[in-house]
Every structure is written in structure tokens, then in C-alpha cells.
Amino acid sequence: MTIQRLHPGPRMSQAVIHGDTVYLAGQVAETAQDTEGQTREILATIDSLLAEAGTDKSRILAATVYLTDIADFAAMNRAWEAWVDPANPPARATVEARLAAPRYKVEIVVTAGR
């Protein structure tokens, strides 16, 4: 089965497609915003990557959300709930974790079908 990599870099690809499954790398915001704003930016990036891979948010199978402060859970959820396809919500876990740089408040990883 063919493996396709989108936006490969020296360390990772932004997306890997294997058969009818799309794996996205952890996505973080590029701009300094609060948790809700970073989440909105990340979800827009996820939409773009999924479209490039030939799928969309209605086909997300699983998502993992990493927050630097679990107290921001409600702020992240406001953006998530405005974005997620209510007819097709994925399995999701949210955990508190230290992220790669202090400016990151949220990181989201998704796996989707095509």
C-alpha cells in the first residue's frame, strides 16, 4: 500500500496518508493568542490539511488535545464545539502536558478516514 507524505520536513511530515487513513502531526498555533484563539487557529489548519488529504472533519476518527493548563479546558471546548461536526464527533481525549515551547497553549493531533 502506498504511503503519501504531505509537507515533509527534516523531522516530520504534517500529514501521512496510508490507504484510507490520514494521520496529522500535532498542530500548534503560529500566533500569540489565548487558548480559545489558538484552538480556533489550529482547527483551521486541521481543516486545510484534511482537505489537502481528500477528507474533512466529518471523517475524523480520533483526536487528542494537549493543554498546557487543564484550567483552559472550557476555553478550548468553546472553539472545539463551534467547529466539530455535531453529527460526526470523533473519539477524543484531552490531557495536560508541557508543550515544545512556552508560547504554545494547545496542541491537537487527529486521525481521519478518507
Contacts of residue 27, Cβ cutoff 8 Å, sequence gap at least 6: 14, 42, 45, 46, 49, 107, 108, 109
Which candidate, 28, 30, 29, 23, places its Cα nearest to that of 53? Answer: 23
Q: How far is Cα 47 from Cα 80, in angstroms, rounded to an integer?
A: 12
What 3-state DSSP class applies to 37? helix
For 11-33, write each residue's pLDDT tens digit: 999 999 999 999 999 999 998 99
The single-letter code of the amino acid at 77 is: N
pLDDT given at position 1 = 74
pLDDT band of 5, cuts 50, 70, 90:
very high
For 27-82, write each residue's pLDDT tens digit: 999 989 999 999 999 999 999 999 999 999 999 999 999 999 999 999 999 999 99
Q: How far is Cα 19 from Cα 71, in angstroms, rounded to an integer?
A: 38
Reported pTM = 0.96
* Cell numbers found for residue 38: 489558538
For 81-104, write each residue's pLDDT tens digit: 999 999 999 999 999 999 999 999
